[in-house]
Amino acid sequence: MNVLTSSLRQLSDAIRKKDLSSVEVTERFMGQIEKWNPKINAYITLNEKALDQAKAVDARLAKGENVGPLAGVPVAIKDMLCTKGLRTTAASKILHNFVPPYSATVVERLEGAGAINLGKTNLDEFAMGSSTETSAFGLSRNPWNIDYVPGGSSGGSAAAVAGGMAAAAIGTDTGGSIRQPAGFCSLVGVKPTYGRVSRYGIVAFASSLDQAGPMTRTVEDSALIMESICGRDPRDSTTSAEAVPAWSKQINKSLKGIKVGLPKEYFSSQLGTDTRAAVERAIEAVKRAGAETVEISLPLTEMAVPIYYLVCTSEASSNLARYDGVRFGHRADFSKKPAEDLAEFYCRTRGEGFGTEVKRRIILGTYALSSGYYDAYYKKAGQVRRLLRQQFLDAFKQCQLLMSPVTTSPAFKIGDRISDPLAMYLNDIYTTSANLVGIPGMSVPAGFSKDGLPIGVQLLASHFQEQHLFNAGSVIEETLALKELPHVLQ
């Protein structure tokens, strides 16, 4: 079996049956990283203890112990998640030297389930971006075509899995940051229902929107990882006590009686022809499995991006206040020219530590929360957000699933949009609503453009109804049966 292209499920089965050792598998991925990471730049920091972790899993297996559902499979972790003893940067200079004394709950749970942490993947600085070009550690490249972006902000995670440098990865999704790069790299990516996954130990970008989730080769792999990382965490008050189902075991590929809503606002003229064709193939697939489609209207769709950029920048302006150089992280060098006052201490430290996009968002958010503007911006955004939520709840009275493109077009060329923030923000047009409303979403590979770039289709379900995503996702996966591999794996 080809380790680098196998699913997490296949690898964990092989390791559990001792056809392969965790050490062999881990070494294989490390070899691929050594070969391709210099080109792709998927990782910021590699975990030097990965092999030790693999050895420990093998030793426990040898003793006949239960090593968990992710038994010995190497995964990559977005550098937004704190890892005890392993540098965590959020791809920002301001955290270039930060080594957390604790791990995120998600990391603890992954390790508890037997996964091996290969390292920390690249992202847009503080997850603010859609291309991984704003990273302070250099941009990542798309393994399907290295002149193209892998998407973002979880672009390093997507590139690592697509490039055979990890069996699966963890990303975070604030406005599409898992689903969009999954779509750009032909992966399955899930943004869970808000509250499913603990945010404890995950560098906060926009607290009311952030959720971590899996980025995998198969739908079943995503379900497996979700089963390990979801569930109430006493350290995060916003986690839900909702039971975590055994999604992977309950995947039902008959969609009889399932209604799939097609929001007409998501199929407007700005949608590219290749993308439209791919999404239509996916719609055909679910219909053939017995689903019925209905046209749905979500008139507030055009408000989603503006609301999103008010909410996420406001929360970010507050969440990023802690990076002040006082207790940890980057501090400007004051040895030659001491700060005149406190303001200068902050300005120099933060001025050096943050990149342009992060500064832009801090300024936008500070403005939106300022007295005199709060009512017109942040508060108004909250009101419209509630209306948007109601619109989705109403839509889910008519159907169990919504299907749409993930983005209007496939991956764009490196450098094409980085100087045009507005064009970059509009990338999020189909994905931000799920975060604002709190519902789960999935990106599933749906084919390729004429240029050979991957195209994803987005599935959305009502709160806590992830099973629908896994069911329909499996149908699309099985029906389209995509076999293409990026050239780095050929």
What residues make contact with other proteins under the rule CB under 8 A?
Answer: 81-82, 88, 90, 95, 98, 100-102, 104, 199-204, 206-208, 234-238, 314-315, 317-318, 320-322, 324, 326-328, 338, 342, 346, 366, 369-371, 374, 378
39 is catalytic: no
Q: Which is nearer to other proteins, 135 or 248 (CB)?
A: 135
- Side by side, the strands of the sheet bearing 454-461 are 43-46, 116-121, 74-78, 168-173, 211-216, 188-191, 441-448, 454-461, 401-405, 259-263, 292-296
Q: Which is nearer to other proteins, 58 or 210 (CB)?
A: 210
Q: How far is Cα 303 from Cα 313, in angstroms, rounded to an integer?
A: 16
Cβ contacts of 220 within 8 Å, gap of 6 or more: 7, 9, 248, 251, 470, 474
CB 353, min distance to other proteins, A: 13
Q: Which is nearer to other proteins, 26 or 88 (CB)?
A: 88
Place of tokens 């290969």: 118
Closest CA to 389 of 458, 293, 307: 307
DSSP for residue 390: H
Distance of CA 170 to the CA centre of its chain: 7
Task: Find the catalytic residue in 6, 12, 78, 92.
Answer: 78
CB 322, min distance to other proteins, A: 4
For residue 172, CA distances in Å to 99, 202, 273, 424 come to 20, 9, 29, 18
177 is catalytic: yes
153 is catalytic: yes
Task: Find the catalytic residue in 7, 140, 157, 177.
Answer: 177
CB 314, min distance to other proteins, A: 7
Q: Is 115 helix (H, G, I), strand (E, B) or coil?
A: coil
Q: Which is nearer to other proteins, 328 or 448 (CB)?
A: 328
CB 161, min distance to other proteins, A: 23
Whether 33 contacts 39, CB under 8 Å? no
Number of neighbouring beta carbons within 10 Å of residue 387: 12
Q: How far is Cα 316 from Cα 174, in angstroms, rounded to an integer?
A: 11
Structure-block tokens of residue 42: 């998927």
Cβ contacts of 412 within 8 Å, gap of 6 or more: 131, 148, 149
Q: Which is nearer to other proteins, 38 or 234 (CB)?
A: 234
CB 182, min distance to other proteins, A: 23
CB 378, min distance to other proteins, A: 6
Task: Find the catalytic residue in 153, 317, 404, 462.
Answer: 153
CB 447, min distance to other proteins, A: 37
Q: Which is nearer to other proteins, 264 or 322 (CB)?
A: 322
Q: Which is nearer to other proteins, 373 or 393 (CB)?
A: 373
For 50, what's the count of Cα atoms within 13 Å in the CB-facing half-sphere?
26
Whether 297 contacts 263, CB under 8 Å? yes
Q: Which is nearer to other proteins, 367 or 448 (CB)?
A: 367
Q: How far is Cα 277 from Cα 264, in angstroms, rounded to an integer?
A: 15
Beta strands in 265-375 (DSSP E): 292-296
CB 443, min distance to other proteins, A: 25
Q: Which residues are the active-site residues? A: 78, 153, 177
